[in-house]
Amino acid sequence: MAGKPKLHYTCGRGKMESIRWLLAAAGVEFEEQFIEKNEHLEKLRKDGDLLFQQVPMVEIDGMKMVQTRAILSYIAGKYNLYGKDLKERAWIDMYVEGTTDLMGMIMQLPLQSAEMREKNLALIIERAKTRYFPVYEKALKDHGHDYLVGNKFSWADIHLLEAILMVEECKPDILSAFPQLQAFKGRISNIPTIKKFLQPGSQRKPPADDKYIANVRKIFNI
Amino acid sequence: MSGKPRLTYINGRGRMEPIRWLLAAAGVEFEENFVETKEQLEKLIKGGDLLFQQVPMVEIDGMKMVQTRAILCYIAGKYNLYGKDLKERALIDMYVEGITDLMQMVMMFPFSPAEAKAKNLASIEEKATKRYFPVFEKILKQHGQDFLVGNRLSWADVQLLEAILAVEEKVPAVLSGFPQLQAFKTKMSNVPTIKKFLQPGSARKPPPDEKYVALVMSIFNLS
């Protein structure tokens, strides 16, 4: 019998990847049940396992949780990655919402036409450089701590590392003007649980390729 | 000097409206600073008041908070509308996220091109009646309590009432198959702070009209 959380999603990043990151960073082992065909999704729906008929869905602590943010908030709260009080939580929430917006843009790319993809890729790079990364660069510079909030490792740090790596996949030298973020990336990548997650063979998923996208379209009818 | 929260946004619903609802339901008085021109928005951005160069922005407890969800979570936590423990919070979060997805469709509707409006309206009605409302109808029926979570008023109840009223503005008979939600709507509307917010002259904003859409387009440089 496993008390481990069980993740239901396609075998790819999508909206589940941030959840994989957070569980891994918290040192929590988890199982995955991959949706490979539309029939799998329909069965979950028919069985009443998906509150709003959607995945991600995570079985955890007797609940069938849905809605990415709800799942992430629960995990962060449970494993003490959500600050020590309401104000620290507010800062973590603000930072995470920012990286969510940035990663959300990147997540859409594979589903777009070649023309839209090119335009949006340029927008992503611009936003990363002028709207998002400067905020985290400044936060780290201003307080001089290793972590974004409360001088303690939190969900915000994990989410930022995930975002940095994702943007680097779009533009490898994106951090060239952000020395604090470069140092941050080095530090957080060396945290043992995260280091393990970054190694080959972990449950971290690769970027979407054409084959994956074609299958996603079939499964979700898009 | 006021200790009241100060909301910076356009004079309309948009992404600020759930925040107005939640503060009002919690009985918290607030001030509003309306962004009326592009230049005003640019000035706010240049002044460094907007963490990610965006509104909504709410000055509260010494912070200039941005990001709608972060602001709502803070208010809910501060005013005890977020459940009594992690599990209740999980339920509230799930329900709120679902409702937010529905409200997103309603929020974007006025901005859809004329030829897409009929389709989008049908989509709102379908999602409301087949995906979202049945969930809350079932929850209320199963536990028989007045509120969605923990037998107590929470953020989820406020958000659900807001969504019901917003969808009803577009689809007047939308609750016809949902007796629990009809009763919920009545009960919630009679909670004193909410009743007050529903009266004319409150900070509640009217449904978006063409003038509002044009204003948003001009301020945010949308085409």
Q: ipTM surpassing 0.90, yes or no? A: yes
- Residue B193 near residue B158 (C-beta atoms within 8 A): no
Count up the domains in chain B and report the number.
2
pLDDT tens readout for residues A92-145 = 999 999 999 999 999 999 999 999 999 999 999 999 999 999 999 999 999 999
Answer yes or no: is B75 within a domain.
yes
Residue of chain A minimizing CA distance to B71: A90
Q: How confident is the model at residue A172 (pLDDT cuts 50, 70, 90)?
A: very high
Q: Which helix (H) or strand (E) holds A217?
A: helix A210-220
Kindly tell me if the per-residue pLDDT of A183 is higher than 70: yes
B93: chain A residues, CB-CB within 8 Å = 67, 69-70, 73-74
Inside any domain, residue A221: no
Work out the minimum CA distance from B206 to partner chain A, whole angstroms: 28
Residue A1 reports pLDDT greater than 60: no
Q: Tell me if A144 is assigned to some domain.
A: yes
- Do B10 and B32 touch, CB atoms closer than 8 A? no
Asked, for residue B62, whether it belongs to a domain, the answer is yes
Please answer yes or no on whether B90 and A63 come within 8 Å at the CB atom: yes
- Say yes or no: A130 and A180 in one domain: yes
The reply to whether A89 touches chain B by the CB within 8 Å rule is yes
- Domain limits at B174? 86-191
- Interface probe, candidates A93, A105, A126, A149, chain B, greatest B C-beta count within 10 A: A93
B117 and B174, same domain (yes or no): yes
Q: What is the pLDDT along chain B (223 residues), one digit of tens a residue?
A: 469 999 999 999 999 999 999 999 999 999 999 999 999 999 999 999 999 999 999 999 999 999 999 999 999 999 999 999 999 999 999 999 999 999 999 999 999 999 999 999 999 999 999 999 999 999 999 999 999 999 999 999 999 999 999 999 999 999 999 999 999 999 999 999 999 999 999 999 999 999 999 999 999 876 5
* Burial class, A165, CB count within 10 angstroms (exposed 0-12 / middle 13-18 / buried 19+): middle
> DSSP states of B149-195 as a string?
STTS--HHHHHHHHHHHHHHHHSTTTTTT-HHHHHHHHHHHTSHHHH
Residues B203 and B179 in one domain: no
Residue at token pair 């923990």 = B150
Residue A176 belongs to a domain: yes
Q: Are residues B59 and B119 in the same domain?
A: no
| B202 lies in the same domain as B138 | no
Residues B65 and B90 occupy one common structural domain: no
A50 and A90 together in one domain? no
Q: Does B65 touch chain A (CB under 8 A)?
A: yes
Amino acid identity, residue A190? Answer: N
Give the per-residue pLDDT at B24.
98
- Does some domain include residue A218? no
For chain A, give the percent of residues with pLDDT over 70. Answer: 99
* Distance separating alpha carbons of residues B15 and A53, to the nearest angstrom: 25
Under 8 Å between Cβ of B136 and B72:
no
What's the domain range around A30? Answer: 6-79+198-211
User: Can you tell me the distance from the alpha carbon of B100 to that of B159, in angstroms, rounded to the nearest whole number?
Assistant: 8
Distance, CA of A111 to CA of A98 (rounded, Å): 22
According to the model, what pLDDT value does residue B222 have?
67
Could you tell me if A148 and A123 lie in one domain? Answer: yes
Give the C-alpha distances (Å, rounded to integers) separating A133 from A69, A130, A184, B182.
21, 7, 12, 46
CATH code of A66's domain: 3.40.30.10
Q: What pLDDT sits at residue B2? A: 60
Same domain, yes or no, for A20 and A112? no
Nearest Cα residue in chain B from A77: B86
For residue B105, how many other CB atoms are within 10 A of its CB?
A: 18
In a domain, B222, yes or no: no
- A178 shares a domain with A94: yes
A122: CATH: 1.20.1050.10
Residue A177: pLDDT band with limits 50, 70, 90 = very high
pLDDT tens-digit readout, A11-60: 999 999 999 999 999 999 999 999 999 999 999 999 999 999 999 999 99
pLDDT digits (tens, 9 = 90+) for A198-212: 999 999 999 999 999
pLDDT of the residue at B1: 47
Report the CATH number that the domain containing residue B66 is assigned in CATH.
3.40.30.10
pLDDT > 90 in chain A, percent: 98
Tell me: do B69 and B104 sit in the same domain: no
Give a yes or no: residue B103 inside a domain.
Answer: yes
Q: Please state, in angstroms and rounded to a whole number, the distance separating the CA atoms of residues A5 and A56.
A: 13
CATH code of the domain in which B128 resides:
1.20.1050.10
The predicted structure's pLDDT at residue B223 = 55
Chain B contact for A123, CB < 8 A?
no
Q: Which residues contact A145 (CB under 8 A, 6 or more apart)?
A: A151
The CA–CA distances, whole Å, from B90 to A76, B153, B199, B202 equal 11, 15, 32, 31
Q: Does B172 lie in the same domain as B90?
A: yes
Taking CB atoms and an 8 Å cutoff, what residues of chain A touch B135?
51-52
- What span, in angstroms and rounded, lies between the C-alpha atoms of A178 and A134? 8
**Quick one: B34 and B118 in the same domain?**
no
Same domain, A106 and A183: yes
Q: How many domains does chain A have?
A: 2
Considering the domain architecture, whether residues B124 and B149 belong to the same structural domain is answered as yes
Same domain, residue pair A21 and A113: no
A220 is a domain residue: no
Q: Is residue B1 part of a domain?
A: no
